[in-house]
Chains A and B, each alone.
Chain A
Amino acid sequence: MIRRVVGLETEYGLAYDAAGTAPLTVEEVAKRLFAPVMEWGRSTNVFLFNGSRLYLDVGSHPEIATAECVVPSELLEQDRAGVLSLAWLVSTAEESLRAEGHGGRLHLFRNNVDSAGNSFGCHENYLIPRRLEYRRLTEQLLPFLVTRQLLCGAGHVVRGPEGARMVLSQRAEHMWEGVSSSSTRSRPMINTRDEPHADAERYRRLHVIVGDTNMAEGSTLLKTVSASLILSVLETGRVMPDWSIANPVKALRDISRDADGTTAIALADGRTVTALEVQEYFLDVASDHADAAGLRTDSDVATALELWGRTLEAWRAGDPGAVGDTLDYAAKRSLLARYTERHGVGLEDARVARLELAYHDVAPGAGLRDGLEARGLLRRFTDPARVEAARDTPPSGSRAVLRSRFLRAARAAGVDHQVDWLTLKLTAEPPTTVQLPDPFATSDPAAEALIDALLG
Chain B
Amino acid sequence: MAQERSQRQHSAWQQSQEHEQEAVGAAKVSRSAGVDDLLDEIDSLLESNAEEFVKGYVQKGGQ
Contacts and interface: CB of A to CB of B under 8 A. Distances in A.
A307 B55 CA distance: 36
A123 B62 CA distance: 11
Contacts of B31: 324-325, 376-377
Contacts of B49: 17
A115 B57 contact: yes
A369 to B, nearest CB: 11
B57 to A, nearest CB: 5
A114 interface: yes
B34 A375 contact: yes
Specify the main secondary structure of chain A where it touches its partner. Answer: mixed
Contacts of B3: none
A372 B38 contact: yes
Contact of B63 (A26, A120, A334, A358): A120
B23 to A, nearest CB: 14
B19 to A, nearest CB: 19
Given A17-B56, A353-B50, A371 B38 contact: yes
A57 interface: yes
A335 interface: yes
Contact of B54 (A115, A184, A187, A372): A115
A123 B56 CA distance: 25
A354 B58 contact: no
Contacts of A324: 31
A13 interface: yes
B38 A357 contact: no
A59 B59 CA distance: 7
Contact of A377 (B38, B51, B55): B38
**Chain A: number of interface residues, binned into ranges:** 35 or more
Contacts of B61: 57-61, 118, 120
Nearest to A14: B59
Contacts of B32: 338
Give the interface size bracket for B toward A: 20 to 34
**Which has the most chain A C-beta neighbours within 10 Å: B38, B46, B54, B57?**
B57
Contact of A338 (B35, B45, B59): B35
B42 interface: yes
B56 to A, nearest CB: 6
A11 B62 contact: yes
B4 interface: no
Given A209-B63, A377-B34, A114 B46 contact: no
Contacts of B53: 15, 17, 354, 357
B60 interface: yes
A335 B46 CA distance: 14
Contacts of A381: none
Contacts of A357: 53-54, 57
Contacts of A434: none
A121 interface: yes
Contacts of A317: none
Contacts of A355: 42, 46
B46 to A, nearest CB: 4
Contacts of A14: 59
Interface string B1-28: 0000000000000000000000000000
12 contacts: A58-B60, A58-B61, A61-B59, A114-B57, A114-B58, A115-B57, A118-B61, A187-B63, A209-B63, A339-B46, A350-B54, A354-B45
* Closest A-B pairs by Cβ, 8 of them: A59-B61, A120-B62, A354-B50, A59-B60, A375-B34, A58-B61, A350-B51, A350-B50
